[in-house]
Amino acid sequence: MTTAHSPAVGERRPSSHRAGVLVQEFGTVKQFPIGLSQEARVSSCRLLNQLLADTQILYGLYKKHHWLMRGVTFYQLHLVLDKHAGEQLDIVDALAERVQTLGGVAVGDPRHVAEITSVPRPPDGVEEVPAMLSRLLEAHEAILVAAHDAAARAAGSGDDGTNDLLVSQVIRTGELQAWFLAEHLVDTPLVRA
């Protein structure tokens, strides 16, 4: 027998549409015993979140251009752009986890990412292949400039973990990927006549 307050067996439903209590504001850091000052952690989280937003956009650009690739080098570029996208997704995760390790709040909602990214929005349609590759190169360069600055600031504040992440993953991967893209923009005929 069921009452008005207890559903019959098999009729239980998950509780949805619940409003949660905000337990930490974006842009704040909670104290973790990791040997870094609050000032260093706040600064690193701010820099990391900017890079995180830009890297999420770069990942999205890679996937878009992977899907929309065309022309005589379609197959090769289709594969390399997908490979680069996967590597950028790994960086997204590493950046977000570093923000959390520092006691911050990682930017994750795509709408929030779109509000704070410095990477320009591409057209909604399909561009020519050189334009797509140039757009990726420009995004890489913007991220690399910011990553070099953030790495120097992190090192200056004693945040060796953030410095290491930025140098070993963001900068090294970004430089290698930029090289691969740039070499596809060299005007070299496929066959010499």
Question: Looking at the predicted structure, is the pLDDT value of residue 7 above 80?
Answer: no
For CA atoms 29, 30, 36, 39, the dihedral sign is: positive
Question: 189 to each of 58, 73, 80, how far by Cα in Å?
Answer: 29, 12, 20
Measure the CA–CA gap between 148 and 25, rounded to whole angstroms: 27
The position carrying tokens 């900017």 is: 50
Closest CA to 48 of 138, 157, 147, 127: 147
pLDDT of amino acid 190: 60
| 158-167 confidence digits (pLDDT tens) | 999 999 999 9
Can you give the pTM of this predicted structure? Answer: 0.88
